[in-house]
Amino acid sequence: MSEAGSSAIATLPEKSQLGKTTIADEVVAQLVEIASKEVGGIHCIAKQGIGEQLAGLSQRLSGKWQSGQGIVVEVGEREVAIDLRIIADYGVKVPELAVTLRQAIINRIETLLGLIVKEVNIQVSGLFFPESHPSEPPSRRVE
């Protein structure tokens, strides 16, 4: 996923005399991925092309974490912002899907990590048509 030393780390607001707790950006991205798998109507998280991966280099240098799987996370001390690219199943109501997915991500991160989610930007970058991806290979037309 991320190269060593290339990700930012969030510091939880609760400090104790025994030490502090930090959360790596990869943890936030993993929760985003889990939440997206639990919401119906999402075929997959969109992979990024080479141009976006090169653009992601500057994002990593600026403190944003990018998975290469269509998830970009920027974590501050108490807040997080997320950009997510998905492929939606054909026939799903995209506005409703986005609302449901956004709420699932916010609930999971705020509940499990205690971070405040400032924004979840969702880009639907494609549709999945099940009939165009048969489970069996097509038969040959000629022998």
> What CATH number corresponds to the domain at position 36?
3.30.70
Q: State the pTM of this model.
A: 0.72
CA distance 48 to 133: 21
Task: Look over the chain and give the mean of its residue pLDDT values, rounded to a whole number.
Answer: 80
Determine the structural domain holding residue 76 and report its residue range: 31-126
Residue 11 lies in a domain: no
pLDDT at 22: 86
Question: Tell me: the pLDDT tens digits for 80-114?
Answer: 999 999 999 999 999 999 999 999 999 999 999 99
pLDDT at 139: 65
Residue 69 lies in a domain: yes
- Per the structure, the count of domains in the chain is 1
Strand locations in the chain (E) = 9-11, 22-24, 42-45, 64-66, 71-75, 79-89, 116-128
